[in-house]
A and B are shown apart, each in its own frame.
Chain A
Amino acid sequence: MAAVTIQNVEKTFGTLKVIHGVNIEVKEHEFVVLVGPSGCGKSTLLRMIAGLETISDGEIVIGEKVVNNVHPRDRDIAMVFQNYALYPHMSIFDNMGFSLKLRKRSKAEIEKKVNEAAGILNLVPFLQREPRQLSGGQRQRVAMGRALVRDAQVFLFDEPLSNLDAKLRVTMRTEIKALHQRLKTTSIYVTHDQIEAMTMADRIVVMNAGRVEQIGAPLELYDHPGNLFVAGFLGSPSMNFIEGHFSRSDGEAVVVTEAGTRLPAPDLADAKEGQAVVFGVRPEHLILGANGVEATVEVVEPTGANIEVFADIGGADICAVFFERHLFEPGEKIGLGWDTGKVHLFDKESGQRI
C-alpha cells in the first residue's frame, strides 16, 4: 500500500488543455473520491495515474517513485473499469487469475488467491463460467475480484457502478466501502454521482473543468463548501441560490433580493455593505414558521421519506425539504425561516465563499 501524490499535473490533447495543474495528495490507506460533472477531467486524471494516458506536465508519485514514464504494468496498481473490461474468452477463474499468471506465480498460489477473493465477493459458484453468463452485478464483482487478487499498492475505480441499476448500485456501494474498511488499500475512485462520493469517501476531491475546486472530508465539504460550484454540486436536492446585495440595517444582516425581499443572513465580518452576493441555503435547513419570509408554493413532491416543496420567494425559486408531511396546495402562502448560522454567502463575482 502506498500514498499517491499528484503535483501540478497537466494534460493537453493537441491544443486543448483538459487538466490545468492539479495537486492532490492521497494518503496511505485512504479512500479518495474524485467527483465532478462529465468532462471535468476526473477520468483522464485517473487514467494518468494508471499510466493509460501520458502526463503532459507535472509529476505523479506512487509510493516513493515518480511514475510519469513507468508502464502501467510496472506501477503495481489495480483498476476497475466502468464497463468492467472482463476478458470475454476466459472463465471467471482465468479472468481473476490472469495477473498472477502473468507474474508466473505457482498454480497452487493462483488457486488459493482466486478462491480467497471469490469467497470475499461471493463468486465461488461462478468461477468456471464465462463473463457473458453473469449478470451486471456479478460481472462488477469479478472486476473487483481481479483487482483484489493482486495485493496492489493502489486501487483505481473508474465509475465502476454507473452501469448497474439503481438498487444494485446502492448495495455495491456499501460492499465496496466495507471491502475498503477491511483491506485498507489506498483507493482512488472516480464518479459523477455526488451521493457515491459523499457516502464512500474519506476525502472528496471536487473537480470542474480540469481544475480542483475543493478537497476535504465529505461532511466538511457539505457544511462548508468553498465556492458556488461545490455548494451546488454536493447535496440532493441541491442548495438554493438567491442573488442579492448584502446589507446591515438595524443591527441585522440581510441579503436584499432584486425584488426587495429581505433574507436574514449571517453577519460575516468579510461581507461588505452593498456587496453583490449569492445567498445559499440547503433545502433541509428551511424551517416552516409564521414569522418567516413569505413564499408561494408551486409544486409539492412527496418522496415518501420526506416532502419536497418548490416555492417562489420574492421572485426567486426555492426548494424546501420537510420531514413532516405538509401537503400544501399550489398557490398556498407559507412562511419560510432558517437558522442564519446555516446560511452560506458567496461573492457573486468570484463565486468564492465569504
Chain B
Amino acid sequence: MSAKLKKSLLYWLMLSPLVVVILFPFGVMFVTAFRPREELFVFPPRWWFSEFRWSNFVEMWEKTNFGQALFNSLYVSIAATALGLLLSIPAAYALSRYRFPGKSAYRTFLLMTQMMSPIVLVLGLFRLMVVLGMVNNLNSLVLTYAAFNMAFTIWMLQSYFSTIPRDLEEAAWIDGATHFKSLIKIFLPLAVPAIAVTSIFSFINGWNEFVLALTMIRSSDDYTLPVQIYSQVAGRYQVEWHHVMAATILATVPVAIVFSWLQKYLIRGMALGAVK
C-alpha cells in the first residue's frame, strides 16, 4: 500500500465518526419514509424495513396536500430569486463600474444588514405586512426573501462583475453599441456564471426558509413546504412519521441533487468572484 493511500485511509477513518453523525438523520429519514406504518414503533427497534412501501408517498401526497405546498414553495423561491436578481444586477453593476459618493458606505451598509437575524425582524416585518395588507399572501414572502437575499447577491455579483474587463464594454460602444445593448449582448452573457450561482443561493434560501413563512402565512393552502411538513408534526395527537419523512425526502432530495450538480459552477463562480 502506498504511503498516500495509507494517509488518506487514515484521514477517512478519523473523519468517519463525523460522517456517521451527519448521515444518521438522513438514514433515519430514509428508512422511516419507506417503512410500513406498523413497523414505526416496534421494540426492539429494527434498522431496516420489511418492504419498500412506495405507497407511503402516494398517501402522503394526498393526505398532506403536498402538491399545493410544493407549488407554493416553488413559486415563492423562484419569484423571490427573480425579483432579487432584477434589483441586484443593476446595483452590483453600478457598484463595480461607477464611482459615486457614498459607495463604500453603501457596501458597508449592505454587509451590516446581514448581521441582523431575520428572527429579530420578524415582528416588524409582520406589522409591515399587516399595514400593506399582505398577511397570508405568498407575495409577502417573495418580497421579504428577495430583500433578505439582496445584500448577499449584490456582493456576490459585484465581485464577479469587477472581474469582467471594462474594455469589453468599451469595445462594444466603439463598435456602435448603446450602453444598454452592450449590457445585453456583451456584459450579461459573460456574467451568467455569477448570476447562476447567486440564483441557486437565493433559491435555496427561499426554499428552506421557515420562520418568516410560519409567521406570515395563515391558511394551510398557502403553506410552503417547510411549514407544511412542520404542520404534520406540531400540535397533533398522532404524528404520521412515515408521511413526515416521505415529505421531507421529497422536499430535500431534488434540491440536493440539483445543488450537487451545480456545485462545480458554484465553486468556479465563487472562485472567479474572489480572485481578481
Contact = CB atoms under 8 A, between A and B. Distances in A.
Contacts of A79: 170-171, 174
B167 interface: yes
B270 interface: no
A21 B168 CA distance: 30
Interface string B160-180: 000001011011111111100
12 contacts: A51-B174, A52-B170, A73-B175, A73-B177, A78-B174, A87-B172, A88-B168, A88-B190, A98-B172, A99-B176, A146-B171, A146-B175
Contacts of A73: 173-178
Contacts of B172: 87, 98
Looking at A79, A85, A88, which has the most chain B CB atoms within 10 Å of its CB? A85
A72 B182 CA distance: 12
Contact of B167 (A77, A85, A99, A150): A85
Contacts of A102: 175-177, 181
SS class, residues of chain B in contact with chain A: helix
Interface in A67-117: 71-73, 75, 77-79, 81-83, 85, 87-89, 98-99, 102-103
- In the A-B complex, the 6 residue pairs with the smallest Cβ-Cβ separation, listed nearest first, are A99-B175, A85-B167, A85-B171, A72-B173, A102-B176, A73-B176
A85 B177 CA distance: 15
Given A52-B174, A102-B175, 7 more contacts: A71-B178, A73-B175, A87-B171, A88-B190, A99-B175, A99-B176, A102-B177
Interface in B159-213: 165, 167-168, 170-178, 181, 185-186, 189-190
B190 A71 contact: no
A219 B176 CA distance: 38
Contact of B165 (A50, A71, A83, A146): A83
Interface string A236-273: 00000000000000000000000000000000000000
A28 B178 CA distance: 28
Contacts of B171: 79, 81, 85, 87, 146
A81 B178 CA distance: 19
B103 to A, nearest CB: 14
B150 to A, nearest CB: 27
Interface of A: 50-52, 71-73, 75, 77-79, 81-83, 85, 87-89, 98-99, 102-103, 146, 150
Contacts of A50: 170, 174
A77 B176 contact: no
Contacts of B186: 87
A102 B171 CA distance: 13
A259 B174 CA distance: 58
A71 B173 contact: yes
A50 B190 CA distance: 24
Nearest to A150: B175
Contacts of A51: 173-174
B181 to A, nearest CB: 7
A87 B182 CA distance: 11
A72 B165 contact: no
Contacts of B176: 73, 99, 102-103
B173 A85 contact: no
A77 B174 contact: yes
A71 B170 CA distance: 11
A332 B185 CA distance: 68
Nearest to A143: B171
A224 B171 CA distance: 38
